Structure 1
Amino acid sequence: MIKNHAKSIEEEIKNLRKTIHMNPELGGEEFQTQALIIDYLAKIGVDEIRKSADTGVVGIIYGSSEGLCVGLRADIDALPIDELNEVEYKSKVPGKMHACGHDAHTAILLGAANVFCKMRPFFNGTIKLFFQPAEESFGGAKRMIEEGCLENPHVDYIIGLHVDNSIETGHVLYKYGVMQAMSSGLQIKVKGKGCHAAHPETGVDAIIIASKIIDGLQTIVSRNLSAFDPAVITIGKIQGGTVSNAVAEEVVMNGTIRTLSEEVTAHISKRVNDLVTNIARAYGGSAEVAIRPGYIPLINNDEVVTLFKGLAEGFLGKDNVHDKVYPSLGVEDFAYFAKARPSCFWNLGIANKEKGITAPGHNGNFDVDHDSLYYGVVLQTLTALELLKK
């Protein structure tokens, strides 16, 4: 029944994805996307619809009688990237593009909502739909939770997905335990003493100090952590000096720290502070370190993953359901939902080499094989309805 319902709206869901793709909005600006979501949910008969976190949406669908409550989440924001694809549904907004598949996530959840509405007489409990803004920027998940989206009614389980261009349409990835990393923003300000380039002995070169700090930071991962604790420290931006014939007085560096646990992040943060301040002091300067906490690690619940895995194997076949052996050091703010409730976050294959759909996310050539949307709708619906039976 679920597969038949999903197949009957397949073209509708593909068109929804195309419409959303043509009209991308950045985090905190998703008003047009929000309006589209609200209009569609109202059209298909969702019982309750309300705004959340300014540009997000929460929808509620009641089954035939009381029971558990399962939430499903889709992020809805786009990226500040120019689209390079020449397709009929190309972004109409210069400098903005759905280059990470959030348009597909939104279309899939709208499709699942449609199927849930058709199946009201056949399930007990409640379905909650979370259309979340700002995953790519300041994070909407935590704000939606703080505004009470997991209560009234109380949510018992949550499921979410992300499209994955590393696997073909019809395939999925699951992961027990930690699936995505946590990330912290890092800023280092190095203070030296400016002077004429002809007389460097009269100053303190902040650029020299910065270069030594960059070298030193990489020894934290290689010498202060176990080989079984994955971590990445990246300096991605450096600004220093004002003219070519003067020793730089100040350098500002910005980067990230990525790990799979809060404990490792705390250890790295302490080592960064110690290393940076001591290197700067050794070269006659000083330095300030600011570490800004970002998203927490995304940790799946084993019980919910096992349920999803079994349903996926029954639907797609065991050969098309793959264990994601290693977690990603990318971040995902579904992590806040997963911390609050038992959850499963999984990856949906959207690549199609025959159609030339192979570009990675956050790339101007990124695209989604529209045939993959059907699989997303079916698996999200199957998993949610099975969780309601627990």
Structure 2
Amino acid sequence: MDYWLQEATRIRRELHQIPELGFEERETQAYILKDLKALGCFEISVIADTGVKAVWRHPGGGRRTIGFRSDIDALPLTEETGLPFASRHPGRMHACGHDGNMTSLLLFARWIQKNEEKINCNIVLLFQPAEESVGGAVRMIREGALENPRPDEIYAMHLVPVIDEGKLGVRAGATQASVSDFDITVTGVGAHAGMPYKGVDAMLAAATLVTQLPSVITKSVDPVEAAVLAVGTLHAGTKRNVIADKAVLECTLRTYSETVYKTVHQRIRGLLQGLEAAYGVKTDLTEHFYCPEVYNDPGVVERLLPLLEEGVRIEQEPSMGGDDMAEMFRVVPGALIRVGCRSEAKGYTKVLHTTEFNFDEAMLLPVVKIYAKLAMRG
């Protein structure tokens, strides 16, 4: 087996077995630190508690700097792949391919160590925690991930099982949606179901809200704009004969426009005021997480495209998935490369965030090749 594929397979499968949630990535961090230290050519530091920053400085100094980022956290899912290298952490799984993202960056670190004389820039490698949860990118930035040295441009990759393996998708402009995760709490008054007039039914008000929320998009957003508003869960009630005194809706909003984001939230608050007047309930909207849309800098994409081989590059359609890499792109121009990993023939067809997601490690090697080309170009 080719050295690079052998290493890709080993590293990915070792990382796949130790998935951890955001800001809990202790074992993952220890693996990354040990791997990078063994190479002996990086300035390595712990950042954002469970993150890692590794810097390779060009001996000539004064060069451009290119950053590369991988997310490192997993999802709270119980793996059902049946793989011999399945998760060893119950209720945790790398179901979004972050084990592949990390592997690509660790392989690139090996390439750097073996090819230092070919590199024409400073390089910053960032292993970021908590992409799937509370937005570790903001903390990475706050603690100096993008300083000393400051990247002139930055790149990231993500596996995508809706693109055929061997294809790399990239586009200029908005490529992934902004994400607003929020809860709506509806508070009423509990009562016996036989005497509903003595209570205020929070569940009924919440059910009405579930049916009304879609109208916020259809009536407030220009049809040519893209926006999705979803109610993922509704929790209410304790017994069949008790009027619910509280209901909680867990929601998410995705859009490519900050203007649309603000408009939708304003309309939702207006809808909640009407619900209070109509049903006699009290409501509260709490936003738990927000990150802007992922915006690939057109200039960065223009410089990247010539490095992608014909037959490999495709124009990737925008996705409603989010990624807090967007926060880094607000500080440093960059591009997110989407890496195809779908193969009907090999049975790699499961979508991200599912308990059976899997991919062929060979799909990571074209990413390392692109990263190497960027380092040599400088």
Tell me which interval the TM-score lies in, with the shorter structure as reference length. over 0.9
Distance 1:196 1:39, change over 3 A: closer
Distance 1:181 1:205, change over 3 A: same
Q: Does residue 356 of structure 1 match 2:314? A: no
Contact kept, 8 Å, 2:120 with 2:375, in 1: the verdict is no
2:49 matched residue in structure 1: 54
2:293 matched residue in structure 1: 297
Contact kept, 8 Å, 1:312 with 1:379, in 2: the verdict is yes
Q: Percent identity?
A: 34
The one-character-per-residue Cα deviations of 1:288-346 (angstroms, maximum 9, x if unpaired) are: 22234412211110111122222113xxx2x3311113x21111011111111110101
Partner amino acid, structure 2, of 1:356 = G
Contact kept, 8 Å, 1:277 with 1:288, in 2: the verdict is no
Q: Does residue 204 of structure 1 match 2:206? A: no
Contact kept, 8 Å, 1:141 with 1:333, in 2: the verdict is yes
1:169 matched residue in structure 2: 165
Once residues 145 and 345 of structure 2 are traced to their aligned partners in structure 1, the CA distance between those partners, rounded to angstroms, is: 41
Unpaired runs of 5+ in structure 1?
Answer: 1-6
- The counterpart of 1:381, out of the listed 363, 372, 376, is 372
Contact kept, 8 Å, 1:159 with 1:384, in 2: the verdict is no
1:149 matched residue in structure 2: 145
Contact kept, 8 Å, 2:121 with 2:375, in 1: the verdict is no
- The counterpart of 1:338, out of the listed 302, 305, 329, is 329
Q: Does residue 215 of structure 1 match 2:211? A: yes
2:22 matched residue in structure 1: 27
- The counterpart of 2:239, out of the listed 240, 243, 248, is 243
Once residues 293 and 89 of structure 1 are traced to their aligned partners in structure 2, the CA distance between those partners, rounded to angstroms, is: 32
Q: Which deviates further from its counterpart, 117-126 or 359-368?
A: 117-126
Instruction: Give secondary structure in 1 for the equivalent of 2:262.
Output: helix
- The counterpart of 1:275, out of the listed 263, 267, 271, is 271
Once residues 325 and 130 of structure 2 are traced to their aligned partners in structure 1, the CA distance between those partners, rounded to angstroms, is: 11
Partner amino acid, structure 2, of 1:39 = K
Contact kept, 8 Å, 2:5 with 2:361, in 1: the verdict is no
The one-character-per-residue Cα deviations of 1:144-164 (angstroms, maximum 9, x if unpaired) are: 110011111121110000011
Instruction: Give secondary structure in 1 for the equivalent of 2:124.
Output: strand
**Normalising by structure 2, what TM-score?**
0.94
Partner amino acid, structure 2, of 1:250 = K
Count how many residue pairs are aligned between Structure 1 and Structure 2: 376
How big is the shift at 1:69? 0.6
Once residues 16 and 384 of structure 1 are traced to their aligned partners in structure 2, the CA distance between those partners, rounded to angstroms, is: 22
**Normalising by structure 1, what TM-score?**
0.92
2:93 matched residue in structure 1: 97
Once residues 79 and 191 of structure 2 are traced to their aligned partners in structure 1, the CA distance between those partners, rounded to angstroms, is: 46
Partner amino acid, structure 2, of 1:322 = I
Please list, as runs of the form range in 1=range in 2, the aligned pairs for 1:8-19 lying within 5 A after superposition. Answer: 8-19=3-14
1:371 matched residue in structure 2: 362
Partner amino acid, structure 1, of 2:255 = T
**Stretches (4+) displaced over 4 A:** none
Distance 1:158 1:210, change over 3 A: same
- The counterpart of 2:154, out of the listed 146, 158, 161, is 158
Partner amino acid, structure 1, of 2:325 = F
How big is the shift at 1:218? 0.9
Once residues 241 and 82 of structure 1 are traced to their aligned partners in structure 2, the CA distance between those partners, rounded to angstroms, is: 28
Contact kept, 8 Å, 2:67 with 2:154, in 1: the verdict is yes
Partner amino acid, structure 2, of 1:360 = V
Instruction: Give secondary structure in 1 for the equivalent of 2:213.
Output: helix
Contact kept, 8 Å, 1:64 with 1:122, in 2: the verdict is no
Instruction: Give secondary structure in 2 for the equivalent of 1:187.
Output: strand
Provide the alpha-carbon RMSD of the alignment: 1.7
How big is the shift at 1:122? 2.2
Contact kept, 8 Å, 2:119 with 2:375, in 1: the verdict is no
Q: Which deviates further from its counterpart, 237-246 or 124-133?
A: 237-246
Q: Which deviates further from its counterpart, 169-178 or 247-256?
A: 247-256
Contact kept, 8 Å, 1:307 with 1:383, in 2: the verdict is no
Q: Does residue 194 of structure 1 match 2:190? A: yes
Instruction: Give secondary structure in 2 for the equivalent of 1:43.
Output: helix
Partner amino acid, structure 1, of 2:359 = V
1:4 matched residue in structure 2: none
Unpaired runs of 5+ in structure 2?
Answer: none
The one-character-per-residue Cα deviations of 1:69-95 (angstroms, maximum 9, x if unpaired) are: 100001111112122122232222221
Distance 1:201 1:226, change over 3 A: same
Once residues 293 and 80 of structure 1 are traced to their aligned partners in structure 2, the CA distance between those partners, rounded to angstroms, is: 17
